[in-house]
Structure formats: C-alpha cells, structure tokens
Amino acid sequence: MAGSLAVTTSRQNSLNKYSLAWTSDASGDVSGTDGDFAMAAGIIELVEFIPDDTDVPTNLYDVTVTEPNDNVYDVIEGVGANRLAASATLHASYRDTYRAPWVPAGTYRLIVAAAGNAKKGVVNLYLRPS
C-alpha cells in the first residue's frame, strides 16, 4: 500500500482551493500514483497544513508536491519540510524577480514521508488561476 489521497476542489473568492486529504500507509508514507491529482495553471498563493485531530501525524513529517514525470521540483518550494503535528499552519508564497510560484496545468503528486502508520492530514493549496 502507498497511502491514499482524496481530493476536493472549491472556489474561495478569486482562488481555486485544492483540498488534499491524505492517509499514510504502514510505513508512514503517501507515495507513487496514489498521490496524483490534477491541478489548473496558476500561481500558488497559499499552502495550508492541517494535521488530523485523532490520527495525528508524527512530529517533523514531510510533505512535497511534485510533477510526477520527474518528482524533482517541489512546487510548494520546501514549506512542507519538517511539519509540526501540534497545529495547523498557513504559508503565503513569496515572489521575487527571479522566480514566480506559477505552475502549469497538469497532474501533480502529493508525497508524504515519515508521518507514522495510518496517520492523516490535509494540505490545502490556494491557486490563483491564470
């Protein structure tokens, strides 16, 4: 088993919200094609991490969101590393003259590591469509 993922999408004001509810496998991971989901093109404005209240992930678990073709580029730019299980956190994306957090439409992959056996959480991606 490679964990599981349930995806819901909604609209909040001018942003598309992708709610990624995950459950880790016995090794504490969500990986492979079980973490795949479709996302529109746009700018990732906010990333929110919400650990489950009952099946709390292990402290310092890791979350990445990659393109499944190469699994190299983390589109949430490292903010999912070493997550604390105690509370939910919200991260605003940054912008500079060299790199904008724009992503093309396509299939992306949620990867969760070191969360513990059968632990749960939600990652909310707020995307400004382009």
- Check residue 98 and give its pLDDT: 43
Contacts with 45 (C-beta within 8 Å, 6 or more apart), sequence order = 15, 92, 93, 101, 126, 127, 128
The predicted-structure confidence for 111-128, as pLDDT tens digits, reads as follows 999 999 999 999 999 999
Q: What tokens appear for 115 in the block?
A: 């969360």
**Whole-angstrom distance, CA of residue 31 vs CA of residue 129:** 26
- Check residue 24 and give its pLDDT: 97
Q: Look at the block and give the residue holding tokens 């964990």.
A: 3
- Check residue 100 and give its pLDDT: 55
* pLDDT above 70 (res 1): no
- Check residue 130 and give its pLDDT: 86
125 contacts 15 by C-beta, under 8 angstroms: no
The predicted-structure confidence for 63-110, as pLDDT tens digits, reads as follows 999 986 776 788 888 889 999 998 898 887 755 444 557 889 999 999
Q: What residue ranges define each of the domains in the chain, with the CATH number in brackets?
A: 4-129 (2.60.120)
